[in-house]
């Protein structure tokens, strides 16, 4: 499973658009802890390792500042960094197209970044969210209940499994967004297919977080790109690449073998031993 890293399928944006994305979609969920989950703040600096990685990908570094993340036992589930924001753009764009009085469904609450956008959308008046973990609901949910009430949006936040939760017959949505995965991996694809089949007749649009990246991993495109990035990183940092290390090791082995042959040890029939016959 690959962590929530940038998706190369998304085109990079200029610095102005990057700044707009940050301020439009960053969350202001209060820090706190419930069970094994926690909402925490963290700081990204100009020379942060994450920004170095982004530059190696040829992408715009993140604006230095304070960000928010959701963790489980210290492991990051999601954050509101620009890279994470970009992976949700399909949902944001769909919500922006809502006209009239629409209803949407979100699978997975997380930090509530997508939920926040749905509540703010002018054409959405009803948002359903299915989240499997009660601690996440208790930790993050109250903030969005208050936001929805202020905006006049009905928020239906339920604890359940999106694969088995039963909706009343005839329930339909303007959009359905599936975001239940901790990271990228080709093993996510069968689950995405199941969810799309399950809700295909209930919505005119649905999307899955990270689907394109999971396909890239399955097809080997991510591995090839990742290797090129790591080679560039090693070169920039003066660290030998894996290929260079293998070459150095082979040279050392050859030198060592040649040295052994030179002393004629181990019953060798070459080198000094051969010359004495």
Q: How wide is the angle at C-alpha 154 spanned by C-alphas 149 and 156, nearest 5°? A: 115
Instruction: Please give the average pLDDT of every successive group of 10 residues along the chain, which has 277 residues.
Output: 47 50 85 97 76 56 83 91 88 95 98 97 97 98 98 98 97 98 91 98 97 88 57 57 61 58 40 40
Determine, yes or no, domain membership for 165: yes
User: 93 and 180 in one domain?
Assistant: yes
Domain of residue 29: give its range: 15-85
Check residue 3 and report its DSSP letter.
-
Alpha-carbon distance of 109 to 262, in angstroms, equals 68
Determine, yes or no, domain membership for 272: no
**Number of domains the chain is built from:** 2
CATH at residue 205: 3.40.50.150
Which of 45, 64, 85 lies at the terminal end of a domain, its last residue?
Answer: 85
Nearest alpha carbon to residue 139 among 31, 67, 42, 41: 31
User: 188 and 133 in one domain?
Assistant: yes
Give this prediction's pTM: 0.73
User: 103 and 179 in one domain?
Assistant: yes
Alpha-carbon distance of 109 to 177, in angstroms, equals 11
């Amino acid at each position: 499973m690959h962590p929530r890293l940038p998706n190369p399928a998304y085109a990079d944006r200029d610095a102005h658009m990057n700044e707009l994305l940050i301020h439009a979609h960053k969350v202001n969920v209060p820090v706190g802890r419930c069970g094994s989950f926690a909402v925490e703040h963290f700081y990204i600096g100009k020379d942060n390792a994450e920004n170095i990685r982004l530059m190696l990908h040829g992408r715009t570094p993140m604006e230095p500042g304070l960000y928010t993340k959701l963790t489980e036992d210290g492991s990051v589930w999601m954050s509101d960094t620009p890279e994470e924001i970009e992976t949700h753009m399909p949902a944001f764009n769909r919500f922006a197209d809502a006209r009239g009085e629409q209803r949407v469904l979100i699978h997975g609450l997380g930090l509530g970044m997508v939920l926040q956008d749905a509540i703010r959308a002018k054409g959405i008046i009803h948002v359903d969210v299915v989240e499997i973990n009660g601690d996440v609901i208790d930790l993050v949910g109250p903030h969005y209940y208050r936001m929805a009430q202020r905006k006049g949006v009905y928020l239906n936040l339920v604890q359940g499994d999106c694969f088995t939760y039963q909706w009343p017959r005839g329930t339909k949505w303007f959009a359905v967004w599936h975001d239940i995965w901790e990271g990228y991996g080709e093993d996510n694809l069968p689950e995405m297919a199941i969810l799309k089949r399950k809700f295909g007749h209930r919505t005119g649009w649905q999307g899955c977080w990270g689907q394109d990246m999971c396909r890239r991993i399955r097809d080997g495109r991510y591995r090839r790109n990742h290797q090129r990035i790591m080679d560039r990183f090693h070169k920039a940092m003066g660290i030998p690449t894996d290929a260079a290390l293998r070459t150095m090791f082979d040279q050392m082995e050859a030198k060592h073998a040649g040295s052994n042959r030179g002393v004629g040890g181990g019953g060798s029939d070459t080198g000094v031993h051969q010359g004495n016959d």
